[in-house]
Chains A and B, each alone.
Chain A
Amino acid sequence: MLQAAQTKAQGALPDWPEGLTRVPYWAFQSHDLYAREQARLFHGPHWNYLCLTEELKAPGDFVATHVGDTPVIAVRDQHGELYAFENRCAHRGSLLALDDRGHAKAFTCVYHGWSYSLQGELTGVAFKDGVKGKGGMPASFCLQAHGPRRLRVAEFCGLVFGSFSEEVPDIEDYLGPQIASHIERVLEGRTPVVLGRFTQMLPNNWKLYVENVRDSYHASILHLFFTTFELNRLSQKGGIIVSEGGGHHVSFSAIDRAAEADASYAAQQLRASSDYALADPTLLEGHSEVGDDVTLQILTVFPTFVLQQIQNSVAVRQVLPKGVQSTELNWTLLGFAEDTPEERRHRLKQANLVGSAGYISMEDGCVGGFVQRGSAGAADQTAVLEMGGATAESSESRVTEASIRGFWKAYRQAVAL
């Protein structure tokens, strides 16, 4: 199957249009491209989010997740080290871990009893020496020569990443100082606590979702919650950071204290009148998340990781492709051990903003499907990404598609298109 996938991955694909402003719709429809992504992107020199350090606290704690299509186990061994390896028995390919998370002393395949250490090494084969001197594995069979493929593992601010590639740069170099510092802003010096986990199945190619997350242009247009209830602060400043290679980004907005003090803003706010008002405006009562004025920070790490701070709703999102037209979006909502009861309450209330029922995110669950369905007969047509120019650079304006262009820049490099 993998051999077939790799053969297919070399299959010819149509030419990609010049520049960064056009994305061909076949990119969301092609099975050949999907196979190439599995080989070059998900098994290539990139870091994929696996889980939180918090989820692997004690020796033996494991999480079964995926890197692209490939099932992977992330585990803490008896010496406290983190390991990750394929969730695949080296014998006949069966899953080793049958739970999404749990605690193990070793992994034993249920099919024929081959067993593995927490480091992913084959340690035993049932009936290896046969029964009563008959049967068994040949004398030449070497346990050390067999095992699931192992991943490199990196931890950053309580996030665990894995890579199938030996060539992947160290995580700090991969992120770069700007992206790293924005992850640190939210996660460093605090102890994350999982408040809930939710999975949203999206009826579209995974790249339509990672485009959407990087798309700061659509926010005030598609998501009408803040506008309808007149909750937009007029006095906001913000911007976009696109990483050097284009693949990662940060979009942020903050309270603009200078503008807030300006009487003209106050006057405009007074004039604003809405037919709709929240019956319970405490939904948006919160605290400064980390002591600064930033109220929103959406951060992506290429290819499929998202860290979100929307007011006091902090979450990580993991994007997993499940075939050309299906995507699994795993939300892990976070609080921190340091939260006061009041701060925790803010998080639980503001979780109403996000996720599959989120006031400002439920539309992201369906809009990818609208594109997938809308572009069904248009493999030879392209999407247009000209908002904010043609480059993939940081900008003070969030009315730009620069970070989407950045994603495609990094993506094309990764899959050699």
Chain B
Amino acid sequence: MDWLAHILEAQARYARCLDDGPLEAWPDFFLDDGFYKITTADNHRRGLEAGLIWADNRRMLQDRVSALRHANIYERQSYRHVLGLPLIGARTDEEARSETPFVALRIVRDGPTDIFASGRSLDRWRRVGSELKLAERIVVCDSSRIDTLLALPL
């Protein structure tokens, strides 16, 4: 199994889904019982459990999308993710870990392109048929500060 090639492909698709849509496809990158969390480097280093977003299954991610579409109020915005190279960690035939640095730029309405977040995603990928699904993604933001609000996932 060429994990690097598969993870590069999956990461590229994931980033494109968040940045260019459709957001509704985002939960499909995860297994049914996939885990997703956005936290900060400080919390992560200290082993503090809570997240800005914390989901222990894919339905919670679907709910996040529905809420963003139908309930939550925020100015129109989009991201542009710039991903670094994934470092492949422990792997078996079925599962692999990777760590990938990212920068997310945010554009609110037609305003400037701002640096919104940088960090790394700590991922556990599972092979499902011919594609990869996330068993776990922990997004560790380098800074503890979020400007204004975090609407779209990272």
Contacts and interface: CB of A to CB of B under 8 A. Distances in A.
The A interface, classified by DSSP as helix, strand, loop or mixed, is mixed
A217 interface: no
Interface stretch (A193-201, A252-260, A386-394, A401-409): A193-201
Interface stretch (A18-26, A74-82, A167-175, A274-282): A274-282
B146 A201 contact: yes
Chain B interface residue number, banded: 35 or more
B50 A278 contact: no
Interface in B96-154: 144-151
B78 interface: no
Contacts of B55: 352
A392 B71 CA distance: 32
A344 B52 CA distance: 16
Contact of A198 (B52, B57, B67, B70): B52
A111 interface: no
A283 B67 CA distance: 13
B74 A366 contact: yes
A362 B63 contact: no
Contacts of A344: 49
Contact of A355 (B52, B56, B63): B52
A280 B75 contact: no
Given A224-B73, A352-B53, A198 B144 contact: yes
A327 to B, nearest CB: 11
A98 interface: no
Interface in B53-69: 53-57, 59-60, 62-64, 66-67
B53 A197 contact: no
Interface in A223-241: 224-225, 227-229
Contact of B71 (A201, A228, A279): A228
Contacts of A352: 53-55, 60, 64
A356 B144 contact: no
Nearest to A365: B149
Contacts of A351: 50-51, 54
B71 to A, nearest CB: 4
A225 B67 contact: yes
Contacts of B62: 279-280
B1 interface: no
A198 B40 contact: yes
B149 A196 contact: no
Nearest to B39: A196
A362 B77 CA distance: 14
Interface of B: 38-40, 42-43, 48-57, 59-60, 62-64, 66-67, 70-75, 144-151
Interface of A: 194-203, 222, 224-225, 227-229, 276, 278-280, 283, 328, 333, 344, 347-349, 351-352, 355-357, 359, 362-363, 365-366, 369
Given A357-B52, A357-B150, 7 more contacts: A196-B39, A200-B148, A276-B70, A278-B59, A279-B63, A348-B51, A349-B54
